[in-house]
Amino acid sequence: MDRPTRFRRGFTLIELLVVIAIIAILIGLLLPAVQKVREAAARSSCTNNLHQISLASMNYESSNGYLPPGYLMNKNGKPGFGPSQWGGDYYKGPMTGTLAFILPYMEQDPVYKALSGFNAGLFSDTSAVEPWMYWTGQPRSTDGNFSAPVPFVDSKIKPYTCPLEDPNALIPVNTSKADGVVTTLMAGDDCTGSFNVNSACIDYLWDSPGFVSPAGTNYLSCSGVNGNYTNAASTNGPILPGIYTQNSKTRIASIGDGTSNTIAFGETIGGSGVTRDFRMSWAGAGGMPVAYGLQGPTTGKWYTYSSRHTGIVNFAMQDGSVRGIRLTVDTRTLRALGAMNDGQTINGEYRVPRPIHRDRTTPRNSMNVPRRILGVFALVISFALAGCGGGSSSGSSTDGTKEADKKAKQKGLERPPKIE
């Protein structure tokens, strides 16, 4: 007796395409939400880092009677072997930056004790010591820069890094151009202690393999509009110092504009966020100016505050509060926030507003989302059916100020634009 034959019905091509389209729609709706959550979490972590750094600086002031310097270059300092070789005899150690001074207040006391134990002169404004990145007796690089960093500056400090950025990623060595880790940065200074509107003291090392590569940071102290250079009658707003300048010992009580109105620390990518050219070291880099505005990841420079957060750069004020400031902030407003005693009134809304939360009792148009989904669904199906059918330098412009590193000029270090 013959049994009836059963046929199993499979999916048709149209049904399969419909399922694929539904999955694609769901993924398309989910991804933006996931990205927004990740961005919000990264921004929150970045904000907390800046808050902790600002609080640490205030704890430093409570213990010492003044805030740490933007960077330290004392009159008794020595240049070290490297600068003596390539024309930087006027360098004076120790060139230690703000973030190194506040290590004990960032729960990084072991790193601080290791550095001060190696040589207490790294934190002294009177000791006759060399720059920490050209220390005699340390292994010296053979890349022509004669880099010789002190030990422990390669310690990676998590609160000094933004979750969206990796300032510890080494930059491939290219000795024919200017790139690497910035070990000293101070706006308005020509590396001799003289101040000029278009000068910036910068020293950088190539990330040569086999030698100590200083660890990086995404946060730098603020030197004001352009460091210790002043011009109260400048066209686009007064150019006046901020809290953290060369050898500064600012007392909180001396911040005339108020700690809640004065930038203390800000975030930076360190250079270009497209093809990385520079990264900042926590051991020495400090004193970033606000004179050159704020930049996003594709337009950042070694002399600008910048970030990968959408449309903003995060800043910690000296009272510990943290604000996301728009990239489009007015020049005068940003200068007023950077300077600590300009007496300017800050006008306009420069901060990113807090998210507006919808009242749960407010009725919504429940048809908006379904209509959008159906529209996208129909569009995907229509396409599917159709398919079935067929080194180191001081930067200065045209003012004739002294170049700190002659070979860096030949390597094409980009100079900051002229400030008006």
Quick check: is 43 in a domain?
A: yes
Which sign does the torsion angle of CA 234, 238, 244, 247 carry? positive
Do 23 and 134 lie in a common domain?
Answer: no
Q: From CA 86, how far away is CA 249, in angstroms rounded?
A: 31
What confidence tens digit (pLDDT) does each residue in 350-395 have? Answer: 666 544 334 333 343 433 433 333 333 333 333 333 333 335 444 4
Do 329 and 377 lie in a common domain?
Answer: no
Do 75 and 152 lie in a common domain?
Answer: yes
Residue 34, pLDDT score? 66
Region 105-128 average pLDDT: 95
Residue 415, pLDDT score? 78
Of 317, 194, 244, 265, nearest to 71 by C-alpha is: 244
What confidence tens digit (pLDDT) does each residue in 18-43 have? Answer: 888 888 888 877 777 666 667 778 88
Tally of structural domains, the chain: 2
- Residue 250 reports pLDDT greater than 90: yes
Percent of the chain with pLDDT over 70: 79
Do 399 and 385 lie in a common domain?
Answer: no
Asked if 165 contacts 216 with a C-beta cutoff of 8 angstroms, the reply is no
Which distant-in-sequence residues (6+ apart) come within 8 Å of 198 by Cβ? 395, 396, 397, 398, 399, 401, 415, 416, 418, 419
Q: 124: left (phi > 0), else alpha (psi -120 to 50), else beta?
A: beta
Q: From CA 393, how far away is CA 409, in angstroms rounded?
A: 8
Quick check: is 416 in a domain?
A: no
CA atoms within 13 A on the CB side of 109: 3
Do 26 and 135 lie in a common domain?
Answer: no
Q: From CA 121, how far away is CA 150, in angstroms rounded?
A: 12
Do 384 and 396 lie in a common domain?
Answer: no
Residue 2, pLDDT score? 59
Q: How many other CB atoms sit within 10 Å of the CB of residue 144?
A: 14
Structure confidence at residue 190 as a pLDDT band (50, 70, 90): confident
Quick check: is 344 in a domain?
A: yes
- Residue 412 reports pLDDT greater than 60: yes
What confidence tens digit (pLDDT) does each residue in 261-295 have? Answer: 999 999 999 888 888 889 999 999 888 999 999 99
Do 374 and 239 lie in a common domain?
Answer: no
Do 374 and 313 lie in a common domain?
Answer: no
What does residue 115 show for φ and ψ, rounded to 5 degrees? Answer: -70, -50
* pTM of the complete model: 0.80
The neighbouring-strand residues paired with 134 are 148
The neighbouring-strand residues paired with 231 are 239
Residue 235, pLDDT score? 85
Quick check: is 88 in a domain?
A: yes
What does residue 400 show for φ and ψ, rounded to 5 degrees? Answer: 75, 20
What confidence tens digit (pLDDT) does each residue in 384-400 have? Answer: 333 333 354 444 433 33
What is the domain range of residue 238?
Answer: 37-352+391-410
